[in-house]
Structure 1
Amino acid sequence: MTQQEVIRAACVGQPFREVAGDGFSLGGFVWQHAEPDPQRAVVIINAATSVRCRFYSRFADYLYAHGFDVLTYDYRGIGESRPTSLRGFAASWSDWGAVDFEAMLGRARREFAGQPIDVVGHSFGGCALALAPTATQVRRVVTMGAQFAYWRDYALGQRLQLLAKWHVAMPLLTRLYGYFPGKRLGWMEDTPAGVVRDWTTRTHRYELRPSGQGLGRLPAGGGKAAILAISLTDDPFGTVAAIERLLGYFEQSRRVHLRISPREIGEREVGHFAFFHSRFEARLWPIALGWLRQGEVSTEAPGTLIQAPL
């Protein structure tokens, strides 16, 4: 076994609880090296909407084996942070970013004092970055398919199908049950009603969604963090328009958009979720690793670099 394989075999994410600023207890897992190192970054992984943090464990193993400390966590209402009942449970996308992700930033500063803080954001997890007040302290960011579900940005060939599923069926079922019963449908995890309201509001601006009222432009904007936005050409959510709509909020950041076709890595499809599957460890994960280490995209990386929005 190589040294990295030995490190990974010995690593298991350790559970933790973190109390957010409003008193809500969040659950997550930490991969932490025995000795502190001010040169070692700690990476916080922000999940997609209603995807459990356990989904990212193999990717966290990979980052840990390559020298990072890593935090994964579940937003309130999901997985390790789910209350006894979701019926009537108050939670929104803005809560997930401004309170829950903010709590993880606080934990990173406390438990990994003096270390740089990096972020990996999947789907909504990239938007969460812009909502946390102290995200201005983040050094580097990698996002995957990051957007906030404006329906007109969905891939043209699937737009009506996705509109019917996520913007018609989902809110109707949420109204019936008091939360979205996604798990029994096999769509995703059960989801708080407030998050569904944010997701299904058909507006092109985040601040016009229910929990975004009064925000104006997203307040933190991720500060001046260097952002690599990765998208796949077969991701019906992460179209060029959707990715760049979110990137437009990060006005002070250096932004790079890498657009990858599955064919360029010998695959027929990757979509919105498979980037984090371990079969892409050798073909896609090094792109994220290189950015987190050096803030650059290797000239050998697949895909096309797209000019970031002004």
Structure 2
Amino acid sequence: MVQQTVQFASGNGQPLAGILFHADNIAHNTAVLICGGTGFLQKYYAPLATWLADKGYTVLTFDYQGIGASRHTPLKQCHARLQDWGTDDIPAAVDFLLGYTGLSQVVLVGHSAGGQMLGVMHNHAKVAKVVAIAGSTGHVVNMRPEFARQAKFMFNVYMPINNLLFGYTKLKRIKWGEDLPRHVARQWAQWCTAGHYVKTAIDRGDIAVDYHADITQPITVIHADDDDIANDANVAEFLSLYPHAQKNVYTLNPKEQGFNSIGHNLIFRPSHQALWDLVLREIQLL
């Protein structure tokens, strides 16, 4: 299996770091782009990418601008916005992967935010299908009360204070993921507080394009019923943004699947590899 470090430019010119995974001496028949969630490094998805590559798929992971290997300045000097990940970074990753493989479309496997941006991607037609793992609007009002209180504190108190004091948001110290550029954190709070996620930025005039009504390709959401963020209400709200898409939802119960928990992100861990067959099946159902 080949694992190759690559670099390509985002749509706004920022250099992005990625890793290609594919089997030795095999034709590139299906391209899979794995787009991470907010605050997750691409290395978190390497086990799934390796597993898919061993099965014959060409897979690309990457870090968004301001995150991991795609962070080239101190975070307080980083001006990346959450919307840039959807309008510039993911489209650039799609084009890079298609240029590498010579194919015309990719399957986008997105975790949380990584599967929620298709409606602002100018090259959305180059995505054959979205498999959105824990994909939802993350709307705070639909969360379990105890978790909603934590989210409101983080969005309304912790993030603004961090941005004021440090110029970025320190998430590592509270175990909510990687530290975030201040504008990424600010928009994340806005989108999850107002609901309708990226449509919030469109309604505010922050994003001048809106392709949600143009999307007709399949969108499958895979989420767990112990996920406080991608719960039933937020998944339904997310899918409602795509009125003409083909939609499918799998709701996993941890106990029925043989796990104590799945939550928002455990499906990507090797400990939960038994769930990857479902992801593979959805990739194959084009």
- Shared fold (TM-score, shorter chain, > 0.5): yes
Distance 1:184 1:84, change over 3 A: farther
1:246-261 mapped onto 2 (5 Å cutoff): 246-261=238-253
The answer to whether the aligner puts 1:293 opposite 2:284 as a matched pair is yes
1:227 to 213, 219, 227: 219
| Structure 1 gap ranges (5+) | 1-10, 296-310
1:271 to 252, 263, 266: 263
1:194-233 mapped onto 2 (5 Å cutoff): 194-201=183-190, 202-205=193-196, 206-209=198-201, 213=205, 215=207, 218-219=210-211, 223-233=215-225
- Where does residue 13 of structure 2 map in the other structure? 23
Structure showing the higher helix proportion among its residues? 2
Distance 1:287 1:243, change over 3 A: same
1:37/1:115 contact within 8 Å kept: no
1:128 to 97, 109, 117: 117
Query: How far did 1:218 drift?
Result: 3.5
C-alpha separation in 1, matches of 2:11 and 2:146: 43
Cα deviation digits, residues 141-198 of structure 1 (max 9, x gap): 2111112432112223422122213442122212221111223443311101111111
Identity of aligned residues (%): 26
- Where does residue 3 of structure 1 map in the other structure? none
C-alpha separation in 2, matches of 1:234 and 1:20: 35
Cα deviation digits, residues 257-307 of structure 1 (max 9, x gap): 11111111122211111010112212x110010010124xxxxxxxxxxxx
**Structure 1 vs Structure 2 CA RMSD:** 2.1
1:133/1:220 contact within 8 Å kept: no
Query: How far did 1:204 drift?
Result: 1.9
* SS of residue matched to 2:194: coil
1:57-206 mapped onto 2 (5 Å cutoff): 57-114=46-103, 116-201=105-190, 202-205=193-196, 206=198
Distance 1:140 1:84, change over 3 A: same
Cα deviation digits, residues 86-108 of structure 1 (max 9, x gap): 11311112100110001111112
After TM superposition, what 4+ stretches of structure 1 lie above 4 angstroms from structure 2?
214-217
C-alpha separation in 2, matches of 1:281 and 1:17: 29
* SS of residue matched to 2:132: strand
Query: How far did 1:225 drift?
Result: 2.1
Distance 1:81 1:72, change over 3 A: same
| Structure 2 gap ranges (5+) | none
C-alpha separation in 2, matches of 1:162 and 1:192: 18
- Where does residue 54 of structure 1 map in the other structure? 43
1:129/1:221 contact within 8 Å kept: no
- Where does residue 32 of structure 1 map in the other structure? 22
Count of aligned positions: 283
Q: Which moved more, 1:179-188 or 1:76-85?
A: 179-188
- Where does residue 304 of structure 1 map in the other structure? none
C-alpha separation in 1, matches of 2:179 and 2:204: 22
